[in-house]
Amino acid sequence: MPLSMRPRTSVRVIAIAVTVALAGALAACGSQGAAPRASHTRGSSTPTPTPTPVDPIAEYADARLASMTLQQKVASLLMLHAPGTDGAALRAFVDQYGLGGLILMGDNIPASPDLLSQETTAISADPELPVLIATDEEGGDVARLGWDTLPGADQLKNLPPAATHDAFATRAQLLQQAGINVNFGIIADTTSDPQSFIYDRVLGTDPASAADRVAAAVSAEHGTVMSTLKHFPGHGETEADSHLTVPTTATSMDAWTTRDAPPFEAGVGAGAELVMFGHLVYSAVDAQPASLSSRWHQILRDDLGFTGIAITDDLRMLQDTGLAQYQNPSENAVAALQAGNTMLLFVTAADPAQDGIDPGRLIADIVSAVDNGRISLQQIDTDARKLLIARRTLAHQG
């Protein structure tokens, strides 16, 4: 594996590892030194061990998880969509199913920042455990906020990385002020092909320039909103649009490592909290779309060192391809969890009959998949806990 592809390790993890190693070394020295005394001297006392620090966020997540039913855990892994700008109605939708997330599309965005802030404030029933509220705020061609006049990728790719940092720092503030805490806004795909549907949205037309701007965007959003890299493992190898089909490329793993991985690696290294998996087939790596591929999830974890939240692109897109194997939304959801996704995204329609997705049925079918052993309870617990920690962290951020 090339040096640039080795997993990154955070300073905190290194510090913990060094502390543990030193403790072990000191213990070993003690055991190999002078023989123990026959008895304690008068007045001596055994030193009190230093208590292990308690992480209050992890402690909260553990307690909350222990109180949740399987149905509640499964529901917390879903990010869905409901129409309209009525915050009370959106909250009722979230509460009805116990969802962990809500995506805001164009139909959810009112005319002003103040109105949007009022809407999002009404969505989360518990401010100590806010719902993950996401939107696609890339800027340029894809901008949900009508008042976001900052440059998008079509301009930023031709400017120094500092311009990307400045744009995304201000964009993150706009989102935070509006009550949105997750941005599906950082395109880590790269291509120099003007015919590609993703071309106008990439931050760089070569791996190095894209990587620099992706890292700048993540760094700019850090501590304001949660950053998302998309669409892993990269749309740039094909001109096809995954909203209409499942794009397929014969690109080899070596070529992917050189051409497509660097921007994702840079974004992971900069601290991106989420990576969105695309419905893309790299046939030389796996016959399954990356969103349903355990191999691609393993590559993200083991080769790029990502430990955050893996989320699918809109799973309804698979149904929209018309391919027979993707017409059951519950089966798509089960396959996505089996592959290693932490969270499932469905941009559901106002009428479940329109796209065949009933949230209650979806949750029940995933619960059944756990009950019959297709998905392990341990995985559900791990994913639900990770999302609880993310949501609790947002409540106490800043």
Mean pLDDT, range 122-138, rounded to an integer: 94
Spell out the CATH class of 70-395: alpha beta
Query: φ, ψ for residue 205 (rounded to 5)?
Result: -95, 0
pLDDT interval class at 352 (50, 70, 90): low
| Sequence-distant (≥ 6) Cβ neighbours of residue 249 within 8 angstroms | 237, 238, 280, 281, 282, 283
- Token pair of 19 as six digits: 């502390």
Active site residue 381: no
Mean pLDDT, range 27-40, rounded to an integer: 40
pLDDT interval class at 37 (50, 70, 90): very low
Mean pLDDT, range 244-260, rounded to an integer: 93
The answer, yes or no, to whether residue 65 has pLDDT greater than 70, is yes
The answer, yes or no, to whether residue 252 has pLDDT greater than 50, is yes
Residue 234 DSSP label: -
The answer, yes or no, to whether residue 44 has pLDDT greater than 90, is no
pLDDT interval class at 54 (50, 70, 90): confident
d(CA 94, CA 126): 12
Task: Check residue 5 and give its pLDDT.
Answer: 38
Task: Check residue 46 and give its pLDDT.
Answer: 65
Active site residue 243: yes
Which pLDDT tens digit goes with each residue over 282-306? 999 999 999 999 999 999 999 999 9
Model confidence, pTM: 0.86
d(CA 61, CA 78): 17
Of 243, 254, 371, 396, the catalytic one is 243
Domain residue spans of the chain: 70-395
Which pLDDT tens digit goes with each residue over 67-90? 999 999 999 999 999 999 999 999
Q: What angle do CA 333, 337, 342 make, to 5 degrees?
A: 115
The answer to whether 374 and 339 have CB atoms below 8 angstroms apart is no
Of 148, 212, 313, 314, the catalytic one is 313
pLDDT interval class at 379 (50, 70, 90): very high
The closest of 374, 371, 386, 396 to 70, measured between CA atoms, is: 371
The string of DSSP codes covering 307-361 is -SEEEES-THHHHHT--GGG--HHHHHHHHHHHT-SBEE----SSHHHHT--HHH
Q: Which residues lie across from 248 on neighbouring strands?
A: 281
pLDDT interval class at 197 (50, 70, 90): confident
The answer, yes or no, to whether residue 47 has pLDDT greater than 80, is no
d(CA 296, CA 352): 31
Q: What is the CB neighbour count within 10 angstroms for residue 40?
A: 9
